Amino acid sequence: MRALVQRVSEAAVLVDGETVGAIGPGLLVLLGVGSGDTDAEADWVADKLAALRVFPDGEGRMNRSLLDTSGEALVVSQFTIYGSLKKGTRPSFTRAAPPEEADRLYRRVVSRLAATLGREVPTGVFGAHMEVRLVNDGPVTLLIEREA
């Protein structure tokens, strides 16, 4: 499982021109589920996201998490994170999980993260063509990865 995480001052995801999820300060998470990923990877990623210390403390050091700051999270499914360009220039997505399994594990990450944070976690629409808008804060962008 891979999560491209960006610290944002705001972010939104739109489908057909309508906002389906939006947050203020927090984390935008582009989540890819790999073939063979299990509940264990989903739980690990959700827990890592909640505890990820990327927000500044009183001294300006990245030392606070979503839990510490009451920051929000927006999670968007992103199978293209598993795109491989080892051969040629057209990406191959053979390492991405099948849609049914990817959707289940994506929902598990969102559910566990929401339970940990004690609030709703907005999302995009799995499998839809989405427009993601964000204001990256820092910029801070990290890749979290845990393979099955």
Active site residue 126: no
Contacts of 55 (CB under 8 A, 6+ apart): 7, 62, 63, 64, 65, 66, 68, 69, 71
Active site residue 6: no
- Catalytic, out of 19, 38, 80, 141: 80
In three-state secondary structure terms, 108 is helix
Active site residue 80: yes
- Catalytic, out of 6, 19, 55, 79: 79
Report the C-alpha gap between 31 and 47 in whole angstroms: 14
Question: Exposure of 61 by Cβ count < 10 A (0-12 exposed, 13-18 middle, 19+ buried)?
Answer: exposed
Contact 15, 132 (CB under 8 A): no
- Phi and psi at residue 22, in whole multiples of 5°? -155, 150
- Catalytic, out of 6, 55, 78, 123: 78
In the numeric block, the tokens 């999270």 are attached to 73
Active-site residues: which are they? 78-80
